[in-house]
Structure 1
């Protein structure tokens, strides 16, 4: 089975935003808890530790990556329950990420936005985050977590084509 891609690439200023979204029939506070509380992020991404206040660095264990590495994330902004902005640096480069939540008519939309200086690596980034967002969805509904093989390499051509 191939999972359909949902990402959009939007030109902004000197770069681009890669935007992926999911919608949940749930209060915004519940979806916010799924992406900010360590015991809940552990169900789909990995647990985190530290003081998650703006300007601080937290450590996140990436449970679904090879060797479950820990990475440092800087909390750039935290505006519960609507906006969380994070940044990090790793071997792939610098990442500036926002989680934006909006509630309307009994549904909460979660938008994951990557602020990109260039679009190199979209073929890897897009499928990986489709996978993580679907893991979030599965963890919220109690369904089994998806298999990464459903996302990569099948979604790579779509994301490469956005460039």
Structure 2
């Protein structure tokens, strides 16, 4: 697999997001499982402890050498179509959403992370490209991609994205 940057800006009512799309040849419930089951998540991003039904879990990213457990608030969860969550606190807080749509035997995943400022995109974008490519590789039983192919190589793509005018205000 040849990695390439895929993120783009999306302006939503609650802010500017960096958004990514991936297409899977799988039923929506299968992709949902990969995104929400703590054991399945270990193969590509991390894991969590606790019960999502309570509205909160503790999450850790597995490919980050200095990762720490973070509190995650689940703001919305509509299986197998969407979830929105807030992770971390203070200056390190971040919001992420996942939306899934199935049609014609394919499932489209749209993932977005709200940005505190557009200048964060060159460091955040390569990370999501990396993790989503890890998800694709893990689901196919392929070797996981290497971080060095993503950062800093993809940073220029994210620096060159045009910020929507409404987000500049």
TM over 0.5: yes
Contiguous gaps of at least 5 residues in structure 2: 164-169
> Contact (CA 8 Å) 1:14, 1:117: kept in 2 or not?
no
Alignment of 1:124-135 (within 5 A): 124-135=123-134
1:117: Cα distance to partner?
Answer: 4.1
- Pair 156,2 (structure 1): closer, same or farther in 2 beyond 3 Å: farther
1:31 is matched with which residue?
Answer: 31
CA deviations over 1:100-141 (Å, ceiling 9, x no partner): 000011000001012234212110100001000000011100
Matches of 1:69 and 1:92, distance apart in 2: 15
CA contact (8 A) 1:99 1:112 kept: yes
The aligned counterpart of 1:60 is 59
Instruction: Give the deviation of 1:61 after TM superposition.
Output: 1.9
The structure-2 alpha-carbon separation of the partners of 1:94 and 1:140, relative to structure 1 and needing over 3 Å to count, comes to: same
Q: CA deviation at 1:11?
A: 2.9
C-alpha distance in 1 between matches for 2:157 and 2:12 = 20
Q: Distance in 2 between matches of 1:46 and 1:52?
A: 15
Q: TM-score when scaled to structure 2?
A: 0.88
Q: Matched residues in 2 for 1:14 and 1:77: separation?
A: 14
Report SS of the residue matched to 1:6: coil
Distance 1:94 1:51 in 2: 21
| Superposed CA RMSD | 1.8
How many residues are treated as equivalent by the alignment?
162
